[in-house]
Amino acid sequence: MATKAKTVFYCTSCGNESPKWMGRCPACGEWNTMVEAPAEPKKGSASGAGCPARSERRPQPLREIDYSQDARISLGLGEVDRILGGGMVPGSLVLIGGEPGIGKSTLSLQIPLSCKDLRTLYVTGEESARQVGMRARRLGGDDSNCSIFCETLIGSVIEEARAMMPDLMIVDSVQTMYTDTVESAPGSVSQIKEVAAALLRFAKESGVPVILIGHITKDGYIAGPKILEHIVDVVLQFEGENRGSYRILRSIKNRFGSTSELAVFEMTGSGLREVANPSEMLIPMHEQGLSGTAIAAMLDGTRPLLFEVQALVSSAVYGTAQRSATGFDARRLNMLLAVLEKRAGFHLSAKDVFLNMAGGLRVSDPACDLAVICAVLSSNFDFAIPSDVCFAGEVGLSGEIRPVGQLDRRVQEAARLGFRRIFVSSFAKVEVKPENLRVVKVADVPALVKALFK
Ligand code: TYD
Ligand code: MG
C-alpha cells in the first residue's frame, strides 16, 4: 500500500511550522501566510547527512580553541569588508537580499573582479556563462581568478566546490537552486531551506566562505520565508530606489560584527562605485538653501550620516489632506504633524504634506524628527533654512525636543562637513567643542521656531 506523502505548513513570514493549515500564524500573528510543503524526513534528510557520529565530537575547553587561522578574507571592496566587520570570516554563509534588478549580481561579480588573488567559484542559475562573461567585460575586467559554473542542482554545485576548494563561492540565487531530496519546485519554502542548509553545511565543513543571493518579496521578506535569515550567519540587504542611481547595502544580521552598518554605492555604466563619504553626496549642491529642505544628522550603526530631508506642503485639493512619506514612517510623520498642530499652533490639517528622504534613504533614527518638522515648516512658510544649519533631535508628543544618542559624533561630522550651526535638545550633553560650529539648544518646538524662523 502506497503511503501518502506527509506535508506540513510553513509560515512564509516567520518560518513557523505547523501540522495543519491555519489562517493566522500563531507565532508571528500574520494572516494568510501559511503554505503547504512536503515534510522533511526525520532521518537521512539532506540537512542531517554528513554530520560526524556523536562519538567523534568532544567538548573543547574555551581557552584551547584555536581561532588564529580565522583571519578575515578581504573581498577587495572596502565598503563591503567594512559592513561585514572587517572582511569575510572563513566558513561563513552570507546572504545578500534585494529586489530584482537592484544590482545583487553586479555586486557579487565585482567582488572576484576587484580581488584578483581570490580563487572564486561563481555559481549561477539565472544567467548563462556568456551573459556573466559579457557583464564581467562591461565591469572592466575578465582577467580575474574566477570560474563560472552554470548549475542549479545543489548537490552537483557542492560536489564541484569540494573538488575545487575555492577561496570564495558565490551562489546566484537561492531561488533557482534545488535539491532532488525534496519534491517541490525550486524557490518553494522547503527547497530554499534545504539549499541553504546544504550550503551552510558545506561552508562549515570546508571553511570556504559562501555568498548566497536571495530575491526579496515586496514586503521585504527574503525569499518569503524568514527562516533563511535564521540559517545564515550574515544578512545584507541591498536596497535603493530603482530609478535613482544610489544603492544602499545594509547589514541586518551579523554574527561576526555590528549590525545596522550601511554602505552606499552608485550604479554607473561600468558597475557599482563605492561612495566612501555618503554625507557629501546626500547633502544638496545648491549654494543658497531652497525652502522645504532641512539637513538631519542621523546615526547609521556607528557612522554619523548627514542627509537632506525634503518636504512639500500645499493646500489640499480634495476634501481630505494627503500625507505621503518616502523613506520615513508615515505614522511618525502624522504624529509630528499633530504635534505641530496641537503644541505649536500651526494649522496643517487642510494641507497636503509630502516628505522625502534624499538619495532613496530609509531612515528610522528618531533624531531625524527635528529636521522633518523644520522641512515641513520651511515649505509651509516658503522660508529657506540657511544651508549651513543641521538638526539632531527627537520630538516628543508634548512638543518637547529630546536628546539623542552619540551626539558628539554627529556634532563632529557636522563640523567636518562645514556646518555652522546644529540644533539639538536643551537636555543634551555635548562634550566636543568644534571651532566653527555652534551648538544651539532648544527645549521645545515653539523655542525652535523662534530661534530658526525669526
Ligand atoms: P543586476 O545585478 O542584474 O540585478 P539583480 O541581480 O539584483 O537582479 O543589476 C541589474 C541592473 O543594473 C540593470 O538595471 C542594469 C544595471 N547596471 C548598470 O547600470 N551598470 C552596470 O555596469 C551593470 C552591470 C548593470
Ligand atoms: Mg541577478
Lowest mean pLDDT among 151-155, 229-233, 334-338: 229-233
Q: What pLDDT score does 225 carry? A: 46
156 versus 261: the higher-pLDDT residue is: 156
Nearest ligand 1 atom, CA 270: 22
pLDDT tier for residue 330 given thresholds of 50, 70 and 90: very high
Q: Is 204 helix (H, G, I), strand (E, B) or coil?
A: helix
State which H helix or E strand residue 234 sits in. Answer: strand 234-239
Residue 285 has pLDDT above 70, yes or no: no
The three three-digit cell numbers of residue 346, written as one number = 500651526
Nearest ligand 1 atom, CA 245: 19
Taking residues 326-351, what's their average pLDDT?
93
Q: What pLDDT score does 371 carry? A: 96
Give the Å distance between the CA of 308 and the centre of ligand 1: 26
Cα distance between residue 171 and residue 387, in whole Å: 46
Question: Which residues make Cβ contacts (< 8 Å) with residue 401, sequence separation at least 6?
Answer: 370, 393, 394, 395, 424, 425, 426, 442, 443, 444, 445, 447, 448
Lowest mean pLDDT among 361-365, 436-440, 442-446: 361-365
110 lines ligand 1 (CB under 6 A): no
Nearest ligand 1 atom, CA 213: 6
Q: What pLDDT score does 53 carry? A: 57
Q: What pLDDT score does 71 carry? A: 82
243 lines ligand 1 (CB under 6 A): no
166 lines ligand 1 (CB under 6 A): no
Nearest CA to ligand 1 atom 8: 101
Nearest CA to ligand 1 atom 25: 271
Cα separation values, 305 from 204, 331, 333, 426, Å: 36, 23, 21, 22
Cα separation values, 319 from 322, 323, 337, 341, Å: 9, 13, 18, 18
Residue 192, phi then psi, degrees to nearest 5: -60, -40
Closest among 188, 264, 214 to 10, alpha carbons compared: 188
- Cβ atoms of 219 and 99 closer than 8 Å: no
Is 77-276's fold the same as 280-452's? no
106 lines ligand 1 (CB under 6 A): yes
The arrangement of secondary structure in 280-452, i.e. its CATH architecture, is 2-Layer Sandwich (3.30)
Taking residues 231-255, what's their average pLDDT?
84
Residue 221 has pLDDT above 90, yes or no: no
Cα distance between residue 91 and residue 234, in whole Å: 12
Half-sphere exposure of 356 (CA within 13 A, CB side): 13
The beta strand positions in 327-400, using DSSP E, are 351-357, 389-391, 394-395
Half-sphere exposure of 421 (CA within 13 A, CB side): 13
- Give me the residue label for grid cell 549561477: 124
441 lines ligand 1 (CB under 6 A): no
Nearest ligand 1 atom, CA 269: 20
Query: SS3 helix, strand, coil % of the chain, rounded to 5?
Result: 30, 30, 45
Cα distance between residue 379 and residue 373, in whole Å: 10
Give the Å distance between the CA of 271 and the centre of ligand 2: 13
343 lines ligand 1 (CB under 6 A): no
65 versus 274: the higher-pLDDT residue is: 274
Cα distance between residue 91 and residue 142, in whole Å: 26
The three three-digit cell numbers of residue 425, written as one number = 535638545
399 lines ligand 1 (CB under 6 A): no
Most ligand 1 atoms within 8 A of CB, residue of 110, 247, 267, 268 to mutate: 267
**Residue at 28: amino acid letter:** C
Q: Each residue of 4-51: pLDDT tens digit? A: 567 788 877 777 788 888 888 888 888 887 877 767 655 444 454 555
Angle at 27 between CA 21 and CA 33, to 5 degrees: 45
Exposure class string for 28-51: b at 16+ Cβ within 10 A, else e:
eeeeebbbebbebeeeeebbeeee
Cα distance between residue 428 and residue 179, in whole Å: 56
Decide if domain 77-276 falls under CATH 3.40.50.300.
yes
Residue 143 has pLDDT above 80, yes or no: no
Q: Each residue of 88-110: pLDDT tens digit? A: 999 999 999 888 888 999 999 99
Q: What pLDDT score does 50 carry? A: 53
Residue 408 has pLDDT above 70, yes or no: yes
The model carries a pTM of: 0.76
Q: What pLDDT score does 445 carry? A: 93
Q: What pLDDT score does 58 carry? A: 78
Give the Å distance between the CA of 106 and the centre of ligand 1: 6
Q: What pLDDT score does 1 carry? A: 47
Q: Each residue of 197-206: pLDDT tens digit? A: 999 999 999 9
Pairing of strands 401-402, 7-11: unpaired
Q: Which residues surround ligand 2, an ion (CB under 5 A)?
A: 105
Average per-residue pLDDT for the chain: 86
Q: What pLDDT score does 144 carry? A: 80
Q: What pLDDT score does 101 carry? A: 87
Angle at 180 between CA 157 and CA 32, to 5 degrees: 110
Closest among 110, 127, 245, 126 to 186, alpha carbons compared: 126
Cα distance between residue 211 and residue 214, in whole Å: 10
Q: What percentage of the chain exceeds 90 in pLDDT?
A: 45
Domain ranges within the chain, ordered by starting residue: 7-38, 77-276, 280-452
Angle at 111 between CA 108 and CA 114, to 5 degrees: 145
The three three-digit cell numbers of residue 434, written as one number = 568644534
Question: Which residues make Cβ contacts (< 8 Å) with residue 326, sequence separation at least 6?
Answer: 355, 356, 357
37 versus 414: the higher-pLDDT residue is: 414
Cα distance between residue 15 and residue 257, in whole Å: 25
Taking residues 64-84, what's their average pLDDT?
82
